[in-house]
Amino acid sequence: MRTIIKNIGLLATAKGTAALRGEAQGALQMTMDTYVVIENGIIVEVGANASTKDLFAATGENVVDAQGLLVTPGLVDAHTHLIFAGWRQHEFALKLQGMSYLDILAAGGGIISSVNNTRKASVADLVTQGKTALSTMLEYGTTTCEVKSGYGLTVADEIKSLRAIRELATLQPVDLVPTFMGAHAVPPEFKERSDDYVRLVCQEMIPAVAREKLAEFCDVFCEQGVFSVEQAAKILECGLRYGLMPKVHADEITSLGGAELAGRVKAISAEHLIHADDAGLTALAEAGVIAVLLPGTSFYLGESFARARDMMDKGIPVAIASDFNPGSCPNESLQIPMNIACLKYRMTPEEVITAVTLNGAAAINRAHFCGSIEPGKQGDLIIWNAKDLPFLFYHWGPNQVRTVIKNGHLVLNKC
Ligand code: NIG
Ligand code: FE
């Protein structure tokens, strides 16, 4: 099957098969008046001077008219927690009264309240709720998405969550990349016995996940009152022995040394990093760890914002993701984090596009497959209701996606 996207006013894409850092992160390739040809799901041609070519549909070809609009790669959301049951709107009032995220968690709410609901849910329940979230994500331009487990916290419930991710991957168009996050919180039955829970994660959960090949990455919430740096290191090193690449929820709410840990274990990514200190940033830069930043979460928690510019100055590749979850960021759209990244991180629109495409793909080990529009990559493209990049970032709030093409298929078209 061939799909031709013609009449592209401006094509903006990062290039390559690895994360971009420093100045390269902001140096997008911008081509005017172009077209893209996708064959059997893979981009085969990015052509110039589209307006002087005859790009009519032959038999077996689909032609999509971009009508002079802006086209970018499909968005890659490198950090989500979309497998959960129920929502937590009852915590919103507590939050508005000034109760902090960690206080709500310590009182048995927060993640633990989602754990209680998720344990009661079946795979089918989780799939139904996940499918709704993914269809919203797709509408907002996400074509590849990492998904963490972490609301089960027993061997059976973590496996159940990861199986739900596997099933979801077959039921809708967004590509899913699974991460095991059994160390998302200490479950109530292990209260005051977190070392015993770490043993359960290492001795039973990780081997069970690896046996069924249910995940590619292992993530840990390294945070005050959750898992210490030492406990997180044990879990990540164990994951590595079972072939799971390390990721770390690092320095999200307190500065605990998570970024340094990510450097030490050579994690593929360190995520959040709101309170990462200079030593942490140096560790990330030296180990080549990708910083996955979640500006929607800073906004929603009323926290400060990660030091994105310092990170980029130090040569750390920056990705931006949604952190979609029922607590700290109940928002499926990557477009709002993209806007906030400009306004609060002071990133340029070009740097942000790289952050939500190629660098996001690299943070989930997919940079060879997606994240840019060039021959050999998956045919994942967005046609925006915008003619240029500044408009996309300056106009915020409404969904600006006009058309989504996934693996060469027209999966959403609003014109
Ligand atoms: O990335 N920090 C830990 N995990 C999520 C929040 C999960 C929740 O509140 O349900 C986060 O912020
Ligand atoms: Fe998270």
Q: Which atom of ligand 1 is nearest to the CA of 252?
A: 2
Instruction: Give the 3-state secondary structure percentages of the chain, helix then strand then coil, rounded to 5.
Output: 40, 25, 40
Task: Return the pLDDT at 58.
Answer: 66
Q: Is 296 in the pocket of ligand 1 (CB under 6 A)?
A: no
Is residue 335 within 8 Å of 140, Cβ to Cβ?
yes
CA of 32 to the centre of ligand 2 (A): 37
CA atoms within 13 A on the CB side of 204: 12
Lowest mean pLDDT of 50-64, 159-173, 202-216, 232-246, name the range: 50-64
Residues 350-360: what's their mean pLDDT?
98
Q: What is the pLDDT of residues 207-230, one digit of tens each?
A: 999 999 999 999 999 999 999 999
- Using CA positions, which residue lies closest to atom 8 of ligand 1? 327
Residue 257's alpha-carbon distances to 221, 233, 275, 278, 279, in angstroms, are 12, 11, 9, 11, 9
- Cα 2 to ligand 1 centroid, rounded to whole Å: 41
Amino acid at 399: N
pTM of the model: 0.97
Task: Give the gyration radius of the chain's Cα atoms.
Answer: 21
**To 10 degrees, the CA torsion angle through 125, 89, 304, 194?**
-60
Query: What integer is the mean pLDDT of 6-31?
Result: 97
Other Cβ atoms less than 10 A from the Cβ of 302: the count is: 10
The CA distances from residue 30 to 5, 34, 136, 353, 373, in Å, are 16, 10, 28, 12, 11
Residue 327 in contact with ligand 1 by CB distance below 6 A: yes
Nearest CA to ligand 1 atom 9: 327
- Residue with token string 């079946």: 122
What atom of ligand 1 comes closest to residue 84's alpha carbon?
10
For residue 297 and ligand 1, the question of a CB distance below 6 A is answered with yes
Mark 2-35 as b/e (b = at least 16 C-beta within 10 Å).
bbbbbbbbbbbbbbebebbbeebbbebeebebbb
pLDDT range class, residue 56, cuts 50, 70, 90: low
Check pocket membership of 179 for ligand 1, CB cut-off 6 A.
Answer: no
- Nearest residue CA, atom 6 of ligand 1? 328
For every residue of 113-171, DSSP letters joined together read HHHHHHHH--HHHHHHHHHHHHHHHHHTTEEEEEEE--S--SHHHHHHHHHHHHHHHHH
